[in-house]
Amino acid sequence: MKRRRASALYILLIVITILFILGVSLVQMVGMGTGQVKKFGKNTLAHYLAEAGIHLAIQKMEKTFDSPLVKGGGPKPAPGSGGPGSPSGVPELAASRDPMELNQELLDLLDIDRAREWARTFDFGNAVVKGSKIRVTAELFGIQKNEFSTYIDRVEVVPQSLEQYREKAGDEEGGTAAPSPLGGWSGRLKLTSVAECDGTRSVIEVIKGIKVVDCTPPASDHTLFIHSSKTEYLKEGKFILSNLTLPDVIQDLLFDLGNKINEMLRLQLSDTKAQSLDNISKINDMLTNKLDEGKMSDALKLVYELAQHANDEKIKDTVDNIILSLNPRDWGRVRTNGVLHVYLPFFAADDIINYFADTSIFGHQRPEIGYLYNDNRLHDPYLSVYTHFEGYVYKNYRRLNPLILGPTKEPQVVPPQRYTINTRMNYVKRYPEREAVKNLKRLIDHGQKYAHVVYKEKKKLFGTPQQPLDLSGITYATEDLTIAGPYQGRGLIVTDKNIIIAGDLTQMNSHDMLGLVSLQGQITLKQSHTKIQAGLYAFDCIVGSKSQSVDIVGNLACETLNREKMPRYFTCRFDPDLKNHMTDNVVGTISRRDISYRELPAGQETREAEEK
């Protein structure tokens, strides 16, 4: 019995010892695991803080590229000066100018020589996690010149230090040094991010591609550019070009004029200034319809009555103020390398307001009567003499004797005449070096090589207000591309084939800019009415049906116009932001994919820096 008890006690002691050993081991294992988890957590946190530093540094560089090269510097109108009531009609300038502030950070990235020496260190401190430290060193290397550079427009007011980058006028190029380009380079961006948090350190090195290119669309100085030497015709339908969003002074003028006409004709015109142009169009349509109905005498009586009653000194006195309130150097020109015949509607589209403002047309001149079903205009009302035409642009219209001079006769077809006094008929012969569509050849030869994104198959791009298309830089497609929706950024979309616009294409912000380029195809519209905010180039122009309409804020360039294949209703208002005044359209793009990515042991980045 005693022997059994002793054996049981012995076994119990062994079991207790084993359990004690297991318990101690378990405690040690749990402690080691907890320590490892804590250490892993700190390492992970430091790692992602280092990655966050990479993204923060890229965002900072992108913000620099999006900022203006020069801030301020423009003249300020003195309060109350330059309005319609100004004695001289000339806007006075304030005694002081905004000081011109040069963006040195941006200039260091745009100038290729400065970029080769560029390096920066960014400290983000507590930007991500409180108590953490993130330091990112950014360096550029392997920089090579590309064809997408630009210059500052020669009419811009800039600090003296930027004169070397200014585009030279043709008569200055002989004895002066060539200007230095801005943008137009490609290279590598090395980012080394060091993050410290809770005594743990992580180092990440990333190398990405970077391209700094000028995204100015083709023919950025022109509202319309027809490159071929063919003869084109603008006949039936609506084809209207414009340079302006109506300034207040013009809108007030048209509104007052519309009110006076409404008193006589009672057409129930709109009583809002925003509808001033629609009112004038409605009056024109009414008169045209009377001609269409065979009531030519009634139409001419109306014109005579308008000329008698709508004559107003305010209309004439306001003209100078209208011109002074505009910025003609930002206006788009019209170019054809061939011949363009424009068939005009009722009232010569050159200057519709003159018919209401000048009573002399019935005493000394013959009124011009255009062709029915045509609504063509290549400029803004009353500003035809301020629009420049390059090439052989002719107006076609018919003429009637004024009613007071005798019985009405059949309209007499008048031989084609120049469109305005500013039509330079032999422009291409005088300046053969300017025959090509500006900025197009570099896209043909080098667009795909320096594109930010390249699509090798058919692609569809659709944006929404919540997630607009990000189109910064050059996007290149070798096949058809479909696009629609809001977009943001400044960029070019270039295709070898066709572009299909499936819906409205509009900018999210006023500084956004887009060019659409179809090198060998056409731009096809899918909606019945489409609004486009972009510069357009298409080899075979825009294609649509007779029931379709398109409103463009931008420009249009093409090899051949092919008006009979276009939408019947076409309007285009020139967007001066297409022009590259002061490197506005130079875009820096950093590749989304990494060329290389590696984690460095702590301290290695210091040793590598010392070795350099």
DSSP β-ladder status, 499-507 and 481-488? parallel
Coil, strand, or helix at residue 502?
strand
pLDDT of residue 46: 85
Alpha carbon 52 to its chain centroid, in Å, reads 31
pLDDT of amino acid 79: 30
Per DSSP, the residues of 362-386 read GTTSPPEE--TTEEEESS-TT-GGG
Buried b (16+ CB within 10 A) or exposed e, 154-169: eebebeeebeebbeee
Stretch 383-397: mean pLDDT, rounded?
86
Domain definitions of the chain by residue range: 11-69+102-216+591-611, 225-428, 439-579
Give yes or no for a contact between 258 and 279, defined as CB atoms under 8 angstroms apart. yes
Q: How confident is the model at residue 198 (pLDDT cuts 50, 70, 90)?
A: confident
Mean pLDDT of 538-557: 95
What percentage of the chain has pLDDT greater than the value 70? 70
Give the torsion sign (CA, 191, 192, 197, 200). Answer: positive
DSSP string, 63-103: HHHHS-SEE---EEEPTT-SSTT-SSSSPPEEEEEPPPEE-
Phi, psi of 288 (to 5 degrees): -65, -40
The least confident of 13-17, 41-45, 247-251, 305-309 is: 305-309
Average pLDDT over residues 508-516: 93
> Which has the closest alpha carbon to 556: 231, 332, 245?
332
Compute the average pLDDT of residues 349-375.
Answer: 54
Q: What pLDDT was estimated at residue 532?
A: 97
Distances (CA, A) of 514 to 154, 400, 539, 553: 23, 46, 18, 11
Task: Give tens-digit pLDDT for 94-124.
Answer: 333 456 889 999 999 999 999 999 999 999 8
Task: Give the best-scoring range by mean pLDDT among 19-28, 150-159, 439-448.
Answer: 439-448
Report, as an integer, the average pLDDT of 319-333. Answer: 68
pLDDT score for 309? 52
Is residue 26 very low, low, confident or very high in pLDDT (cuts 50, 70, 90)?
confident
Coil vs helix vs strand at 132: coil
pLDDT, the chain, mean: 80
Which DSSP letter does residue 273 get? G
pLDDT at 130: 81
- What's the pTM? 0.78
Written as one letter, the residue type at 237 is G
How much is the pLDDT for 379?
Answer: 86
Q: What is the largest CA-CA distance in the chain?
A: 153
Question: What are the backbone angles phi and psi of residue 121, rounded to the nearest 5°?
Answer: -120, 125
The two tokens of residue 80 are 């109350």
Res 181 pLDDT > 80: yes
pLDDT number for residue 480: 97
Output the pLDDT for position 600. 85
Residue 301 in 3-state DSSP? helix
> What per-residue confidence (pLDDT) applies to 85?
31
**Greater model confidence, 186 or 25:** 186
Residue 535 clears pLDDT 70, i.e. is over it: yes
In angstroms, the CA 517 to CA 558 distance is: 10
Which residues have C-beta within 8 Å of that of residue 330, sequence separation ≥ 6? 243, 576, 579
CA distances from 198 to 66, 340, 522 (A): 36, 74, 60
Model confidence pLDDT, tens digit, residues 441-456: 999 999 999 999 999 9
- CA angle 553-424-89, nearest 5°? 65
Q: What is the pLDDT of residues 470-503, one digit of tens each?
A: 999 999 999 999 999 999 999 999 999 999 999 9
The CA distances from residue 399 to 217, 348, 359, 365, 412, in Å, are 41, 10, 18, 11, 5
